[in-house]
A and B are shown apart, each in its own frame.
Chain A
Amino acid sequence: MSEMKTAAYICSGCGIGDKIDVKSLEKIATREGKMALVKSHEFLCGEAGVGMIRNDIDNEGVTHVMIAGCSRRAKTEAFHFPTTAMARANLREGVLWVVAEGDEHDEVRQEMADDYVRMGCAELKKMQVPAGNPATAQNKRILVVGGGFSGMTAALAAAEAGYEAVIVEKTGELGGWAGKSWKRVPGAAPYADPQDTGIADLIARVKSSPKITVHLSSTLAETRGAPGRFAADVATESGSVTTEEVGAIIQANGFTPYDIAKLPELGGGTNPNVVDHAGLEALAIAAKGDTIKRADGKEVKSVVFLQCAGQRDDSGKHLPYCSGHCCATSIKQAMYFKDANPNVDTVVMYQDLRVPGMGEDFYRSAQQKGVVFTKGKAAAVEPAGDGCRVAFRDLILDEDTALEADLVVLATGQVANSGVNIELPDDDPAKAQKTSVLNLAYRQGKDLPILKHGFNDSHFICFPYETRRTGIYAVGPVRRPMDAQQAEEDAVGAALKAIQAVENASLGRAAHPRSGDLSFPKVRLEGCTQCKRCTVECPFGAIDEDEKRFPLFNESRCRRCGTCMGACPVRVISFENYNVDTVGSQIKCLDMPDEFSEKPRILILACENDAYPALDMAGLQRHVYSAFVRAIPVRCLGSTNLVWITDALNSGWDGIIMMGCKKGDDYQCHFVKGSEMAHYRLSKVDDTLKQLGLEPERVVTHEIAITDNVRCAQIINDYVAQIMEIGLSPMKGFG
């Protein structure tokens, strides 16, 4: 962009012109905002209004557009000028709809609108049109780690969409656990009988697909690169290594059943007549639909399934979670017996029968077939005569009792094959015990981060397959416990996500949640002090280190959240259209009333994903809030640089509200760790406040969900009242 020509367009539609003096806004845009061109229109998003802007861009050489009207979240299709830098001043949702009605509020309403125009102009002048990432990578193949049900489904989904897939399977054959099962829980109406696993068909389709390459008995020795340009060293058991160039990775390496030897009180590992689900599948495969025989060859006449064995345990000894599939799996296995011989006594002993999806029909079908369901908790399994004696508490009849059976099946849970826990220190023995799955050559560690209970990363709330490593997607039981039906959905979803990732990478654009964003972090290395804060704080592991220990940005791994920018103490990281100056200049451009005006100014830094929409919605529903606040959207609260706080306080702002997403294990942050980082950094802001001689209440943080429109209006009003009580900032007039 050779020369910058700015233009401001002020809309007086939607009632803005009735309540706000547009002439005054024009004057401010010209005199203070220094806009080269200032125009107002009564219906800016209409054909004539948009035509006027387009004409100025095409014929007047306008390169930078400031639109004052509705929120930046509204009318994005009308105001779509991709070649132009654009700032929006939120006069409708941010002023008109939230400031109390009535003439007595005219003055503060006008001041608020004036300030938003000032801020829009200030921001605009610091922006550039993102030129896009020149370092695009074109590889569109998809690597699938794991050749089980999830892995094969994902590879086939990618292949059917026209993308090449590479499967790396550790064992000598495809199929995984599903391949070692006799049948599966039904996935189609009438959900009454176990159905064929479909694995043979999947394997045949994978083998015959010209787009799928399979590496058996192989693991990943090392994985380097970024979306669009990953290189994976595939090592076979015999030691030979091939390097596969791929664009995205799907990790579908599944689970290991919880070791029944850890349940000796239930006969696990000690009693040959106690097996787990996998053990029973083996017996069922051997029986081929006929009467199931025990390992010693005796026909099973009675069988008991003990649910939640080593699961949902609050003592800390076993798995604390529910694996979700085991109730339906036990029902399926009980049907193996009943279908072969209705006279076999089958008891499923449960504490809560959980059959998600259409499992309720399956449960009913089992009851029809005569499977007995007993609500009870097993205390011990002991050998008795030729079989086992299960001592348990009947939770309906409320008594300790016992029953005898030829065979006991323990419904143990799924343990994720999640590789090493990269958050443990290197000398932790628990880390050394695990083998890495991906062997990533990332500064941040060899595997995907672990979120909870040993399961790999997943954005549970909004984007289930997304992990904190862009272009690498976790599917199936490695990200959360699940059955085949859920894994199927997972695998197809992740395949499409992987396709999106490679396509975005090939165009130099961001992946979700800022899909299509062409801006990317630029770093001024001359100013870098090699403090490593950006590399550590980046939630996505996008930043490595080069040989000289400077940060090395992998643009296609970057999600454009700006957490690195917020972290940088010397402020050398910036985006073309979002940087320390675009926000900083807005903070400093205000017409700050003096200390005795009784007009405080409160800065809101609002996350653009949840908090800013919530504020917009407060306006949409006409929840009145104070006209003393000025809201600035930020990409993520994690991008908040402390210099903004210091600048604001030095410029005489009376208080700052930071609005971000929920942090912690049940986070709602679109960038997973962004809001957590912001909270962490702000925990140290008290020192700054002390140095400035200000009260700690001058900076507050709130977790805001997108639905919190009423609440954020309340928060604002309460905070303004609190600031009035403390008194206005003594820092005014020095900035």
Chain B
Amino acid sequence: MTTANQPAAYRNDFLKEVEANVEEGHMVKMCMQCGVCAGSCPLGSHWEHSPQKIFMMIRAGKREEVLTSDAMWMCTSCYNCIARCPRKLPITHIMHGLANYAHRLGLAPKGQPTRDFAVMFWNNLTKTGRVNELKLTLGHYFKDGIGAGIKKGLEMKGVGLGLLKAKRLNPMEILGGHKLQDLAGFHAIVAKAREIEDRRRGLSS
């Protein structure tokens, strides 16, 4: 039953892995399987697994299934589950922590829109230290190719022109946009933070 990546069923191995590597992962074991989170989630019916099931799967040692699930990526951070959990589990944080861990391991589902957008957002932000909204929007419109991008852009034309008129959108940002003064320093900070985080999690990348 045991394979290299799939721990034995209902042993503590995967639970311990989650505790060590996932934000708030030590709280997973405190779930009492009441199902209030699953019933409270406004997007519940659109997920593969509810938080209740994800927590049970972690205890059951279903490593592959948990880390490849789309469930964590569908969380909109509405915090309904946290507010209602009788055991005070920080469910939203755990879900994001699991998503992050799956992403690092390269197990997160490919082409998952939330994940793609998150990567795009991170890259956009860390490039200049400021979010370039024009580039982010365009990058999002054109992610599925030029044709689809033009179509989407025309659809949103009214909103764009409105923003332009209200001076909420600067077309000159396309040329690179505003940025931090000490960009090299900022990049060094981000690199250091990643290094610390990886060390803490025992990852060497």
Q: Which residues in A have some Cβ–Cβ distance to B below 8 Å? A: 302, 304, 343, 345, 347, 353, 363-364, 367-368, 370, 372-375, 394, 396-397, 401-404
Contacts and interface: CB of A to CB of B under 8 A. Distances in A.
Contact of A367 (B11, B30, B56): B30
Contact of B60 (A345, A353, A374): A374
Nearest to A302: B11
B12 to A, nearest CB: 5
B60 A401 contact: yes
Interface in B1-56: 1, 8-12, 15, 29-30, 32-33, 52-53, 56
B57 interface: yes
B33 A375 contact: yes
Contacts of B53: 396-397
A521 B87 CA distance: 60
Contact of A404 (B8, B29, B59): B8
Contact of A401 (B9, B33, B59, B87): B9
A373 B58 CA distance: 12
Contacts of A353: 32
Contact of A368 (B1, B15, B29, B33): B29
A25 to B, nearest CB: 63
Considering the complex of A and B, which 4 residue pairs feature the smallest CB-CB distances, nearest first?
A: A403-B10, A396-B56, A403-B9, A345-B11
Nearest to A402: B9
A372 B15 contact: yes
28 contacts: A302-B11, A304-B10, A343-B12, A345-B11, A345-B12, A363-B32, A364-B30, A364-B87, A368-B30, A370-B15, A370-B29, A372-B15, A372-B29, A372-B59, A373-B59, A374-B56, A375-B33, A375-B56, A394-B60, A396-B52, A396-B53, A396-B56, A397-B53, A397-B56, A397-B57, A402-B9, A403-B8, A404-B1
Nearest to A350: B33
A98 to B, nearest CB: 47
A375 B10 CA distance: 12
Nearest to B1: A404
B24 to A, nearest CB: 15
A374 B10 contact: yes
Contact of A394 (B11, B30, B56): B56
B127 to A, nearest CB: 43
A402 B30 CA distance: 23
A370 B12 contact: yes
Nearest to A376: B10
A345 B8 CA distance: 11
Interface string B44-87: 00000000110011011000000000000000000000000001
A372 B10 CA distance: 8
A343 B32 CA distance: 21
A368 B32 CA distance: 12
A371 B8 CA distance: 16
Nearest to A360: B32
A302 B2 CA distance: 15
Nearest to B10: A403
A372 B30 contact: no
Contacts of B52: 396
Main DSSP-derived SS at the A contact region = strand
B59 to A, nearest CB: 5
Interface string B87-113: 100000000000000000000000000
B76 to A, nearest CB: 24
Contact of A373 (B8, B11, B32, B57): B32
B50 to A, nearest CB: 10
**Residue of B1, B10, B57, B87 with most chain A CB atoms under a 10 A cut-off:** B10
Contacts of B11: 302, 345, 403
A128 B165 CA distance: 105
B65 to A, nearest CB: 10
Given A367-B32, A374-B56, 19 more contacts: A302-B11, A345-B10, A345-B12, A353-B32, A364-B87, A372-B10, A372-B12, A372-B59, A374-B10, A374-B59, A394-B56, A396-B53, A397-B53, A397-B57, A397-B60, A403-B10, A403-B11, A404-B1, A404-B8
**Residue of A304, A347, A396 with most chain B CB atoms under a 10 A cut-off:** A396
B25 to A, nearest CB: 13
A337 to B, nearest CB: 12
Nearest to A353: B32
A373 B32 CA distance: 8
A372 B30 CA distance: 9
A304 B60 CA distance: 13
A362 to B, nearest CB: 13
A401 B56 CA distance: 13
Contacts of B15: 370, 372
Contacts of B1: 404
Contacts of A367: 29-30, 32
A373 B28 CA distance: 12
A682 B59 CA distance: 61
B109 to A, nearest CB: 20
Contacts of B59: 372-374
Contacts of A368: 29-30
A99 to B, nearest CB: 52
A95 B17 CA distance: 77
A397 B12 CA distance: 17
Contacts of A394: 56, 60
Contacts of A402: 9
Contacts of A372: 10, 12, 15, 29, 59
A373 B52 CA distance: 13
A363 B10 CA distance: 18
A405 to B, nearest CB: 9
A80 B30 CA distance: 61
A396 B38 CA distance: 12
Contacts of A401: 9, 60
Given A397-B53, A403-B10, A404-B1, A373 B33 contact: yes
A83 B11 CA distance: 76
Nearest to B26: A368
B201 to A, nearest CB: 20
A370 B11 CA distance: 10
A549 to B, nearest CB: 64
Nearest to B58: A372
Contacts of A370: 12, 15, 29
Contacts of A374: 10, 56, 59-60
Nearest to B61: A403
A666 B1 CA distance: 51
A396 B54 CA distance: 10
A647 to B, nearest CB: 61
Nearest to B28: A367
Contacts of A343: 12
Contacts of A403: 8-11
Nearest to A399: B60
Contacts of B12: 343, 345, 370, 372
